[in-house]
A and B are shown apart, each in its own frame.
Chain A
Amino acid sequence: MIEQFKTINDLSAVIKEYEGMLSRPTRRLSHPTLYRTRDVGKKEKVIKGVRVKDWFLSEDEKWVLPHNQMGLSFSSTYKNLKQVYKLKEKHNPGKVLDIYWVLEKADIPPGLKFEPDLSKQGHYFLTVTEQMLLEKLVEKLKFMAQRMSVIKGAGKTL
């Protein structure tokens, strides 16, 4: 496994080789599974690092409800990763993007599950399978982040 890449094309072979690899491009110094206010639009609602619109929340926004097509986005193919990366690159000019990844079958916390996007090949959601308090989801997302591997983007340093 390579530890650093210069352009997204460098990752083509890696992603194809590792079956079950699910990845997310993340701006350097941002969190791979939680958001800070600087990562989102000015009026976008984020609670404790959870971007509200990504999940199926109860009306009072205290609970996260199961939904197999809502959650955190991941790419399962190089092709999908490439387009997400290019989009993020445009939105973050001059910033370095790293690729965080995990294996689909890896030890993910109970109550979370990867589900394929039924309308987009190569795109997965990290979903919740049982109702849980938003604070519990945050704990689980932090746990996930600690277990994710990272391939560092080189930015303009290489």
Chain B
Amino acid sequence: MIEYKFKEEKEYINHYAQKLNDDKALELIEAGIVNNSSDALYLSKFFWRMVDSSIEDEDSGIELPWPEGAEFWNEKIMNTLSGYLDRAGYESEWDSVVDEQ
């Protein structure tokens, strides 16, 4: 299971999955697990799309519903998701997407 250190991490992911109209990401986050390589890749790519979207929001002056900035939450969520994917055996999927950035 994806284990969050802060409850806001999941809220933040859901916020951006909804903003990006990404039903698949919402499903994966709600389930809290990925079952195959394809889903692991999808979640990894979603993370970086979320990062890009949050930076666009900050640049446009759009405020987040939390006091902390996007960089804080993106870093916490990166540790959470990459830690989970490592443990679940999908390290190479995560790494390949990091290398694309």
Residues of A within 8 A of B (CB): 40-45, 51, 53, 69, 73, 79, 82-84, 86-88, 90-91, 117, 119-121, 123
Contacts and interface: CB of A to CB of B under 8 A. Distances in A.
B75 A120 contact: no
Interface stretch (B12-20, B25-33, B34-42, B79-87): B79-87
A83 B82 contact: yes
Nearest to B2: A119
Contacts, number: 71
23 contacts: A40-B69, A40-B71, A41-B58, A41-B67, A43-B63, A43-B69, A44-B69, A51-B72, A73-B79, A84-B78, A86-B101, A90-B55, A90-B101, A91-B55, A91-B70, A117-B83, A119-B5, A119-B80, A119-B84, A120-B82, A121-B83, A121-B86, A123-B79
A111 B52 CA distance: 38
Contact of A53 (B72, B86, B87, B101): B72
Given A90-B52, A91-B74, 10 more contacts: A41-B64, A41-B67, A41-B71, A43-B67, A44-B69, A73-B79, A84-B78, A91-B70, A119-B3, A123-B83
